[in-house]
Amino acid sequence: MANLKDKITKLETSFFEELKSSSTIEQIEEVRVKFLSRKGLVQDIMAEIKNFSVEEKREWGPKLNKFKTDLEESFEKQKEKIQKQILKQEISKKQNFDVSSTKINVSQGNLHVLTKLTQQIENIFLSMGFKPVYGPEVETDFYNFEALNIAKDHPARDMQDTFWLNTPEMLLRTHTSSVQIRTMEKSNLPLAVVATGRVFRNEATDASHDYMFNQLEGLYIDKNVSMANLFGTIKTFLSALFDGKEISIRVRPSFFPFVEPGAEIDMTCPFCENGCSVCKKTKWIEILGAGLVHPNVLKSVGIDPNKYSGFAFGMGATRLAMLKYGIKDIRLLHSGKIDFLKQF
């Protein structure tokens, strides 16, 4: 029995030594496995009881049980102590963290004002049955001029107005009307499309002129299309663009080589009742050029002008953006200035 007593004392000593030197959950778990698990050292001693006599069992049984329970209690106390320490460290870490010292600014980007406006314009026309179409910015003389009934000696071909490329007959498109031709060539009739995109003019820049701006072009070809269809479409579009405001239009005769008759359309100023700086006190704003598609243009893409007619209109999408949002300088639009762009 003295042998067993010795064993218990030694075991107890090494258990408490190892328990006290544990300071992490991992270390104390090792102590548990070594001493208190089913295959641990305490269980080994407990197992010895089976060789004891009945008398000895009666004496040592309760003692060994108490020994085991005491160790388990000490273990739990130490475990709790470690857990509290860890928690305390975590809390103090958080308390020492100064939330005001670092401010992380997550600034979200936004779509360019012209992209937003283009999407709005396309949605309005989609609701009227027009399909958005696109074409290349580098064009040929044929699509940009010839097919649009623009004669070789027309001033629009002047070197001052057009960016010609080094390759003969190639240029940067001066209007989105070229997309009309490309669309008519490959589409079945009737046809209703709206083309938006960048166009280029070789001219001096100032607050209201730029070498690059966005245009918006519409085309509708069917049997018996008249100016009345054009006016109705434009009025509906402008009212929707200016948030449902009732817009009136007035029409002045004008000349564009690719339409006959041709017209300039003005709209009532959506910003005032009796004149303001936008409409220069006139209550009217010049907004677009339009007309019935010239028979020569229809012929150039193989459409019989005796069977079909159509209207076309073109306006500056950039100018619309400037009007709608009160932008004073056209050059801001591709300046890349963040302060300007994030307003929209």
Task: Report the interface residues with Zn ion, using CB under 5 A.
Answer: 269, 271-272, 276, 278-279
Q: How far is the CB of 302 from Zn ion (least distance, A)?
A: 45
Closer CB to Zn ion, 150 or 269, in the complex: 269
Q: How far is the CB of 323 from Zn ion (least distance, A)?
A: 10
Q: How far is the CB of 238 from Zn ion (least distance, A)?
A: 14
Query: How far apart (Å, rounded) are the C-alpha atoms in residues 329 and 294?
Result: 35
The first and second tokens of residue 107, run together, are 């600034």
Backbone angles phi, psi at 110, to 5 degrees: -140, 160
Q: How far is the CB of 284 from Zn ion (least distance, A)?
A: 8
Closer CB to Zn ion, 128 or 278, in the complex: 278
Closer CB to Zn ion, 231 or 271, in the complex: 271
8-state DSSP, 51: G
Q: How far is the CB of 105 from Zn ion (least distance, A)?
A: 39
Query: How far apart (Å, rounded) are the C-alpha atoms in residues 202 and 334?
Result: 16
Backbone angles phi, psi at 308, to 5 degrees: -120, 150
CB 242 within 8 A of CB 324: yes
Backbone angles phi, psi at 81, to 5 degrees: -60, -45
Closer CB to Zn ion, 192 or 265, in the complex: 265
**CB contact set of 122 (below 8 Å; sequence gap of 6+):** 132, 194, 196
- Which residue's CB atom is positioned nearest to Zn ion? 269
* Cα angle value 218/213/112 (rounded, 5°): 95
Closer CB to Zn ion, 148 or 279, in the complex: 279
Residue whose C-alpha is closest to residue 23's, from 84, 72, 69:
84
Q: How far is the CB of 268 from Zn ion (least distance, A)?
A: 8
Closer CB to Zn ion, 217 or 266, in the complex: 266
